[in-house]
Structure 1
Amino acid sequence: MKYYLCTLSALLLVSLSVSAQKVGIQPSILEFHVVPGVTESQVIRISNMSEAKVSFQAYLADWLRDSTGAHHYYKPDTLSRSCASWVAIDKNFIEVEPGKTEELVVRLQAPLDTKLFKQMKWAMLFLQSAEEQDSADRKNKQFNTKIKELLRVGVHIYQTPPAVTQMSAKAVTLKPVDGEKNAYDLYMVNTGETMLQCKAHLEVTNVATGAAFKLDKIEFPVFPDGKRTVRLVIPDTVPKGKYSALAILDIGEDASLEAIERTIEVK
């Protein structure tokens, strides 16, 4: 069951304090490549650069990116590609004094079943700051609620078995966006075994003059079996006219480019 939705890895839940907390959490991604029966440990470092002690609760979740790139979160061990049940942390509550750094050890304990190592798996580890309790102003006989700034940071956990290496993708369609001038949606699918770090862009050539324009690249990740729609917008610097447009999808140096061509009208 999905229990919350968020589009950012770090989400500011409440911001009513006078000064923001100064906290660093590194790294933001933990990449594992374990084989059956092996345990690997990695360390997350939480640095407190503020003048007050900070406290965090740690918990796991499942997650997916939808076709727009938004993150959807679920209870741990809900999704078929979850590795949340393989993950253990050495503590669920962390306190960090001012000017100090604390470490959180994350262990990925691989089961013995080799059938579970035919595909990539992933999870999310959240670190969420604790709330400050309400206090009463007895002198004025009124309750004065003090709300601490709550920070929730998601650390991505990826488990890719060493034998899972095949990279492939398919550029499916390139369609104009209804109601938006000179905008086109490129729809693609990750048909491979690994998460892809993709780049997409448009190259347009004026049919009458031969003038060519190569537009900026958009970068985005896509999970295995994932689908993604990327909006490619032709800037106003491209003169009006009829063009041959080539949408190019690049998934890395070791893979072939995917492309879709169509004739368009720049307005």
Structure 2
Amino acid sequence: MKNRFILCTLIASFSLNVIAQNTSVDSNKTDSVSPVAPTPADSPAEEEVKKIAIDSSKITDLGVAVAPSIMRFRTSPGESETRYLTITNDTYKQQNFRITFADFDLNEQGSARQLPFGEQHEYGLTRWIVADQTFVKLKPGQAKKIGITINLPDVPEAYRAAWSMMMVDMEREREYLVPSKSGDNVSMGIIPTYGFGIFIYQNPPNTSINKVEITRFDFTYDNNNRYVNISVKNVGDGIGFCVVYVELSNLNTGHQERLPLKRITILPGQSRELDFAFPGDTPKGKYSVMGVLDFGSDTELEAAEMEITVQ
């Protein structure tokens, strides 16, 4: 079934109110990170980072927390900028972590693929970013702030967007392997560890982040589900942080409904594919469907509209 849609740009003489929760990742899990292996370790640094005092009597043993999950920089070429990562050890054991950086790519579904350690992406930020401590020891109930600094040279490559991923991987000392009594074999064990991935995005002030377009808008269905499909593309030279949502209007009853919004990050030149599922109890009838893309402009929204029949 083919649906024709009308693509338009809305000039906003009003303020668009979009309710969004602060989450560790984009809502609806639109952006995800593929599991990665810890990178090679280097020598521990001195305890130079700022310490945040925590009353050990308030430890809840919920685990380790890392914040924020996304860092956004607006550093000008030839300048430096520092932001801070906080690691909190809410456990009764000492925890050790190694901080490393790697470049990555995003596919059309928003899944991140980390490049092999040492390999640089064309738009990679790893060559210009450092942590003021790469080995972090946390006592029970302790938290630390680690400075993450971008040092941009005044070169042509620094005048465009760049990105990378920071990994905070737990390190655990290997236990001594004890040979069996017979001496014929040595018992081997698995050391469980975990880590965190933090997205880092850099948009220099000269970049244009208001050039994200809707390239496809249609309606598909099968025996069990109905979807509005939206494709968007970043035709600018900056990283776009967008909100996309769909509104339904029943042409017979006038009833209106907004489907759950999606927050996405879209890199320069990249396309993203988004599917919005209809509620299972959507009544049959004719509907006007509008897809709205808010890419951060103070005056414009990108929108597309079509009419469909739900049977």
TM-score by length of 2: 0.71
Q: Cα–Cα, structure 1 residues 215 and 46, in superposed 2: closer, same or farther, change >3 Å? A: closer
Q: Cα–Cα, structure 1 residues 259 and 80, in superposed 2: closer, same or farther, change >3 Å? A: same
> Is the Cα–Cα contact under 8 Å of residues 162 and 201 in structure 2 kept in the other structure?
yes
Q: Cα–Cα, structure 1 residues 47 and 56, in superposed 2: closer, same or farther, change >3 Å? A: same
Letter in 2 for 1:38: E
For residues 224-263 of structure 1, the C-alpha deviation after alignment (integer angstroms, 9 at most, x for no partner) is 2221111111213321123232222222351422222223
2:93 alignment counterpart: 52
The higher relative CO (CA closer than 8 Å, separation ≥ 6) is in: 2
**1:107-122 equivalent positions in 2, closer than 5 A:** 107-113=149-155, 115-122=156-163
Shift of 1:140: 7.5
**1:1-267 equivalent positions in 2, closer than 5 A:** 8=32, 22-75=63-116, 76=118, 78-113=120-155, 115-136=156-177, 143=187, 145=189, 147-148=191-192, 150-177=193-220, 179=222, 181-267=225-311
Q: Cα–Cα, structure 1 residues 251 and 51, in superposed 2: closer, same or farther, change >3 Å? A: same
**Residue 85 of structure 1: SS of its match in structure 2?**
helix
Shift of 1:135: 4.7
Letter in 1 for 2:207: V
Structure 2 unmatched runs, 5+: 1-30, 38-60
| Matches of 2:170 and 2:291, distance apart in 1 | 43
**Residue 257 of structure 1: SS of its match in structure 2?**
strand
- Structure having the larger proportion of residues in strand: 1
Letter in 1 for 2:272: R
Q: Cα–Cα, structure 1 residues 219 and 166, in superposed 2: closer, same or farther, change >3 Å? A: closer
| Matches of 2:280 and 2:131, distance apart in 1 | 51
For residues 42-66 of structure 1, the C-alpha deviation after alignment (integer angstroms, 9 at most, x for no partner) is 3322221211111111211111221
Structure 1 unmatched runs, 5+: 1-6, 14-19
1:17 alignment counterpart: none
| Matches of 1:256 and 1:173, distance apart in 2 | 19
**Overall identity of the aligned pairs, in %:** 23
Q: Cα–Cα, structure 1 residues 120 and 144, in superposed 2: closer, same or farther, change >3 Å? A: closer
Q: How many residues align?
A: 254
